[in-house]
Structure 1
Amino acid sequence: METQESYPLDVESIRADFPVLERKVGGDPTVAGEGDGDDVPLVYLDNAATSQTPKRVVEAIVDYYYEYNANVHRGIHHLSQEASVAYEEAHDRVADFVGASGGREEVVFTNNTTEAENLVARSWGLNELGPEDSIVLTEMEHHASLVTWQQVGKKTGAEVRYIRTEEDGTLDMDHAADLIDETTEMVSVVHVSNTLGTVNPVAELADLAHEQDAYIFVDAAQSVPNRSVDVEAMDADFLAFSGHKMCGPTGIGALYGKRAILEELEPFNYGGGHVRKVTYEDATWEDLPWKFEAGTPNISGGIALAEAVDYLEDIGMDRIQRHEELLTEYAYDRLSEFDDIEIYGPPGDQRGGLVSFNLDGVHSHDLSSILSDQGIAIRAGDHCTQPLHDKLGIPASTRASFYLYNTREEVDALVEGVDEARELFA
């Protein structure tokens, strides 16, 4: 029997915060006027790509534009001061959310996780790495990490190494200990794999890195939205995540960095807003974190990101994590009932909130299309992990990913949709 303790969220109340979940979809979405049919209710299971946005976060954006739209750190008039305070306090709020005791000085707002990776790679990697150094990644890295450090390695001559992924989707930690050696300067690891759902032991990897005086960069795009993350407990040197995966808007993300490290880094993006003194010969930089936020920032996005943090914490991160784990385990178990479905990654009770799989004889794109006709939104493709898919020996996979507003009934709809696709291709 399902109890409130087993399913700790009032999902129906939460769903009321997301108007898009009331939509019915049908018709051809690529043709004007054909994307708002009334055929089937929307079942949104593509949360690892982008989560939906609650009304109060949208209202925070609207309030900014309606009430105090002005640039920050550039004016002494009332609106500019009001906007500046809200934007600065948003940094403090996000810092507190991930356990950064240094406050706003340790949180840089970026466009997304990818830009955060590039900020460190360009500001630190291009200046500090050479042919005698190594960078250690995992075989399950998202392209945001893999391609970024791969290209830094090509430019600096640093060797890029990859920690093996075991058959069960977990990391080979003995291999990690071998690869992270005295030549290693950076370890970049995904916290929760966006393809396998693997929850990597980032604190243990941080210990291995720090034993060799190397830094660790944690890609937390798939963990910060749905579980409590404490950057100091895991001893991360850098950690990045994106707002659009955690009930926030697109175009805003955050980079956490230990203050002592950020103070030593040079900005890679130059212009206005991040400079203290400029002459015809040189320039000096503003204090943290502003020295890394050149130009007019995404002010409304930063304010809305803080509102998304408040929304998630009002619900409770531990409750969100438990709800997502239970849904994922249920989806894993239901899909495992079929012999012609292959699921990738760890068991259902040992993964983050997603399940990637393939139905025998049906390409993931075809399966996605069939599910879309039933209103079910999932992801099909390589999920920005092409090398991992090559290792798995598959061109693509189907991914269903869950969040705080999803239900067991939606998982049942997914399974029924897969069964219909099986019949169509029989």
Structure 2
Amino acid sequence: MSQVASAGRHPVVLPMTATQRELWRCRHDLGPCPAHTRALRLTGTVDDTRLAASARQVVATIDVLRAGFVTEPGEAPVVQPASPRVQQTTVDGDGTCLDVLDNHRRSAGQHSAPSVVVSVVRTAPAEVVLAVSGHPLLVDLRSLYLLLGAVMQHYLGRFRPDEYPTFTQAAAACAELAGQHGGRIAWWSRQLDRWPRPVDGPAVRARHQAQLSMTRSRWQRLCQVSAHAGNAGPLAIVALLTWWGQHTEPARRPVFQTTFDLRDYAGLGPVIGPFTDRLVFAVDTTDLTTMTFQDLVRRVHAGLLDSVVRYVPYGALRRFATERAPGELPGEVLINYCRTPPTSDTTRGERTLARHGLSIELFRESDLALRGAGADPGRAAIELELAEHRDGEALLVRADPARFPPDRVDALVRGLDRQIDQVTAQPSIRLADLPAD
């Protein structure tokens, strides 16, 4: 059984934000940006039809989901108004469900008509998967989780549309923010003079993939190493990558890029839309061998904060850099999610949900993340992403084989596996005593 319904009111046409214009440029220069999918597994008593109706009601209230976009006010739309869809079906098991969601992801990611698809998929008598697939021009990764939460709020009678700011409100705040960066360019000019340029070469879409799985307790111990920075485990991963990079290419100062959520930076609230930009930051490696691992984590945090407080939209920074010298911005390693990712622990078996006969958890997050591989529209040589994997976490690594051969990437992952045990057992270990591979 399969039911398909279009959801939404009259379409609207909106001007693109700075981050959308950068995605639009990358889409034409480097190829289409694949859509993302994230999903929840609902176990218990679920009314599929009522859940699909809740999805239609929610997407009808979110302006960006039915919008077309212009690059500049007054121009013809370069992105035609979207038509969000809600699809309801029944399949046999998780494997078939993943295939169905993959088809929905491809549908949402069509080059000619980017859109959002909400899927209600019954996989077993007592299990339903609620999924959202969306094109990055319309929704970023965090928006997928926000949409999933909004649909569940509506299903449980708790949805309040006024709690979700409109795209127009958030875009205006971002435009005001973008207009304030003029005085920061001098600082960025000095940094770009010091930072190495990326190694020349064409972008490679086919990437070698590797995965490092960790139990939840092991991941939590790694997060505690960076407790001073809010238990941000990804900072510890960046520190390990810095140490690895200094051994493999000691002459190159480590420069990273990371996704940067403007909701937190600009106080936008839980707005649904494409409000993730990219940030470039460097790590000071002066006297590295005399430091402890915790010292290096602090330097990673300091380098990240230096770039945060001097934030310039990635597109504007890229244009400024290419005016000085052709090529891409520094930072061959891209960290998706420079924060602790969501987990199922807070919803699985939660008491309020249990009163409704429900338990909720993330559905196969690492599998969905890998199926959306290659979503980076830039030229990062290595992409890293964190995702829930069974009852733990997975560090997903995708690498350009022309820059980092597969055997080197596999060796990196094996080295990280060993080093995580060492630094969690002894966070104050001297870097000179920490093998780099």
On whether the aligned pair clears a TM of 0.5, the verdict is no
Give the TM-score of the pair, scaled to structure 2: 0.26
Bigger strand fraction: 2
